[in-house]
Amino acid sequence: MEMVNQYKAAVIQAGSEMFDKDKGTDKAVRLINEAAENEAKVIVFPEAFIPCYPRGMSFGAVVGSRSQQGREDFTRYWKNAIQVPGKETDRIANAARDAKAYVMIGVVEKDSETSEGTLYCTVLFFGPDGTLLGKHRKLKPTGSERLIWGEGDGSTMPVFDTPYGRIGSLICWENYMPLARAAMYEKGIQIYVAPTADARDTWFASMRHIAHEGRCFVLSCNQYSTKDMYPEDIASRPEIEEQPHEITRGGSCVVNPLGGFIAEPVFGEEKIIYADIDLDKIPEGQFDFDPVGHYSRKDIFHLEVDETKRT
């Protein structure tokens, strides 16, 4: 495989077409095309871009009971989750092929192997030939996310060898799991994709730390969403009305292997953020710190990862 050491990456900070997988796929294809027109070779979307990250919605759940209105909202969410593979992934694959780019996109995946009743927060990986390379399911949904998403297992923790570096992903607060990060480092990750729904200042400190710790490039991608993006007729609309107009402020960024911003966090708008990647910066950083090489002390520490598929 011939490596391309210098290229352009695109981090797509955009809001979802809430609860509408068809319009969400249309928007994803349009944004892939735009990034390709600007010569991006690696294109990253936020967490749960299709159909949405339903921030601010309780789905009518409190300890010990669920409301009928919440069940109706969840059913609408479930109907707009996608199967993998399926017609939506086919469209994104075709867009990746036309763009001749690697595309990573956050989706809500409907479990098509068993009852279909469980949803997963998933990142899909597409190659420049239109191949669906694989997926990563979020290992541990955070807080109330556990009401709507199941837990992934170790069988979907891939790192892919590409001409643009070894690419893998952890989603949102998985990036706070030290052993999950260590598993990514052990696989030699170079392009560390971190789709998220977190726009707090502490998130950016973590992205800089991970890049510096892993001696890798970190592409962090969040949505920019506003209250008026939510459908008027969802049962939880009164909860949304209590939210600020700007529900997710963005904050997408790109960090180099020494922890410095290539593209600083962007707030308050939908925007495609471009960054020039130079893979030679990785060995420059590894000169004095390689977390799974000369700085690992494998005579003392041992990491064991169970990548068995659980049925």
- In the annotation, is 271 catalytic? no
The residue from 135, 138, 221, 253 that is catalytic is 138
Does the annotation mark 172 as catalytic?
yes
Q: Active site includes 52?
A: no
Question: What's the 3-state SS for the chain?
Answer: CCCCCEEEEEEEECCCCCCCHHHHHHHHHHHHHHHHHCCEEEEECCCCCECCCCCCCCCCEECCEECHHHHHHHHHHHHCCECCCCHHHHHHHHHHHHHCCEEEEEEEEECCCCCCCCEEEEEEEECCCCCEEEEEECCCCCHHHHHCCCCCCCCCCCEEEECCEEEEECCHHHHHCHHHHHHHHHCCCCEEEEECCCCCHHHHHHHHHHHHHHCCEEEEECCEEEHHHCCCCCCCHHHHHCCCCEEEEEEEEEECCCCCEEEEEEECCCEEEEEEEECCHHHHHHCCCCCCCCCCCCCCCCCCCCCCCCC
Select which of 17, 27, 41, 47 is catalytic: 47
Catalytic residue among 172, 216, 221, 253: 172
Active site positions, annotated? 47, 138, 172
